[in-house]
Amino acid sequence: MSENHTTIREDGMENTDMQKVETNETEAAPSFARLRSKLSFEKLVELGTKLGMANPLFLCHEHAAKATTIINHKEYLNFTTYDYLDINGHPEITDAVTRACELYGSSAGASRLVGGERPPHRELEKAIADLYEVEDCITYVSGHATNVSTLGFLFGSRDAIFHDGLAHNSLVQGAKLSGSTRISYTHNDCDALEKLLKERRHEFKRAIIVTEGVFSMDGNIPDLPRLIALKKQYNCMLMVDEAHSLGVLGKTGRGIREHYGIDPTDVDMWMSTLSKSLCGCGGFIAGAKDLVELLKYGSPGFVFSVGMPPIVAAACTKALEIMLREPQRVAKIQHISKYFLEYAQSKGLDTGAAQGYSNVPIMLGDSMLAGYLSNLLFNRGVHVMPITFPAVKEGQARLRFFLSAAHTEEQVRHVIDLVVEEIPHAKEQLDAMGYHPSQLTD
């Protein structure tokens, strides 16, 4: 029998422990390669390359992506833009950005808490608070960070976050960071939510219900009046992420509260990104003044982050002004979204749960089929992205079409007709190459 020679070094670490540390340090560098091998997106791209499929990710657009875009000096019909209201690149925005840059430069220079405050920040926040008819607003430099930092900061281990089963990654990550009990309810199922609230609300000090105005992967909306009733009945807060509904819902683009005609103060936190209808970057929380003050002095994503560039704030304020001044843009995005949905359905395509709000999926199921079909359409002059696991559940891969007020009915008919034409070609070619869905999970 061999002896286990474990000795103690001068620093108190056992030699056996040191061997483990050395082994871990040796393996540290290649560990990223192992992590990358587990990424579903990369696995899809790797298998696609073997099957002769070009990588659809990270393509370089050579000017503002509108209803059409330029990639590698070639024009494509574009369904990958968040420019719902066809405002991005508007000359008034360009002028506002230019003037702001001349006055304030391109950077806030520091965290706004310690020295980064500039007039465009407060002008934007006041404009958003007025839009929602609430007391105040706080803007963050990132939309994703807005959700992560807000939920992560406001809630703790004695609280519960009830979120829709299809809530955006940023909402889920914020819930995880908070240390709260995270309870997911079946997508858009208020009866399921009520059952969970009845069973579990009493276990927690505070609770919040979290939903979206338009769900980004499915293009449908929640029953907000029912959610408000539940929040009142069970003494919860309510947060609505309007990333894809601001500028899209309501007669003037004021979002889901205008769509339903509700009192905006019935929702405790109105959140949205600034990168869609408002043509900038970042996010905001609008609500009561004491809530906003608390976030300004404590939310890590605001306190410890550089402030939003003043030029971005100026761009968003001008975009909001244009949206309210020209409601015909809102009418156009609503019309073309409904038209896309109805025409796709008339051609026998599966549009999932879409209701015709700004983004519409064409459900395909298999991830490689979605990727290969995207490639075939790209070769036909159409740019649309495949959405696969982990962005959606396994077996729910799709092409996701973002609509814009700039799209025409003729363009919509053209792309849907191409989809119908190319789906059987994609299936035939994948079969001919010996592809089987199990190859993605092996």
Per-domain residue ranges of the chain? 40-84+328-440, 91-325
The CATH architecture that domain 91-325 belongs to is: 3-Layer(aba) Sandwich (3.40)
**Please, which residues have CB within 8 angstroms of residue 316's CB and are 6 or more apart in sequence?**
124, 274, 278, 279, 280, 282
pTM: 0.88
> How is residue 254 annotated by DSSP?
-
Please say whether the beta carbons of 338 and 403 come within 8 A: no
Please say whether the beta carbons of 258 and 252 come within 8 A: yes
Residue 252: HSE in the Cβ half-sphere, 13 Å Cα cutoff: 11
Longest dimension (CA), the chain: 86
CA–CA gap between residue 228 and residue 119 (Å, rounded)? 35
Q: At the fourth CATH level, which superfamily is domain 40-84+328-440?
A: Aspartate Aminotransferase, domain 1 (3.90.1150.10)
Stretch 147-162: mean pLDDT: 98
Centre a 10 Å sphere on the Cβ of residue 250 and count the other Cβ atoms it contains: 20
CA–CA gap between residue 165 and residue 192 (Å, rounded)? 11
Measure Cα distances from 405 to 151, 232, 273 in Å. Answer: 33, 37, 19
The end-to-end CA distance of the chain, in Å, is 42
Phi, psi (degrees; rounded to nearest 5) at 202:
-65, -15
Label residue 34 by pLDDT band (50, 70, 90).
Answer: low
Closest to 386 measured CA to CA, from 356, 341, 419, 424: 419
For residue 159, the SS3 value is: coil
Distance of CA 126 to the CA centre of its chain: 24
> How is residue 157 annotated by DSSP?
T
**Please, which residues have CB within 8 angstroms of residue 311's CB and are 6 or more apart in sequence?**
97, 100, 101, 104, 106, 120
Distance of CA 43 to the CA centre of its chain: 22
CA–CA gap between residue 41 and residue 304 (Å, rounded)? 31
Phi, psi (degrees; rounded to nearest 5) at 73:
70, 15
Check residue 431 and give its pLDDT. 87
What the block records as the tokens of 189 is 């199922």
For residue 327, the SS3 value is: coil
Each residue of 308-364: pLDDT tens digit?
999 999 999 999 999 999 999 999 999 999 999 999 999 999 999 999 999 999 999
What the block records as the tokens of 96 is 């506002």
Across 89-98, 250-259, 354-363, 426-435, least confident range = 426-435
Stretch 274-292: mean pLDDT: 97
Check residue 42 and give its pLDDT. 66
What the block records as the tokens of 354 is 């879409």
Give strand pairing partners of 212.
Answer: 241
The DSSP line for 370-384 is: HHHHHHHHHHTTEE-
Label residue 43 by pLDDT band (50, 70, 90).
Answer: low
Q: At residue 27, does pLDDT exceed 80?
A: no
For residue 32, the SS3 value is: helix
Q: At residue 17, does pLDDT exceed 70?
A: no
Measure Cα distances from 100 to 96, 97, 180, 251, 274 in Å. Answer: 6, 5, 41, 31, 18
CA–CA gap between residue 322 and residue 312 (Å, rounded)? 15
Label residue 14 by pLDDT band (50, 70, 90).
Answer: very low
Q: At residue 411, does pLDDT exceed 80?
A: yes
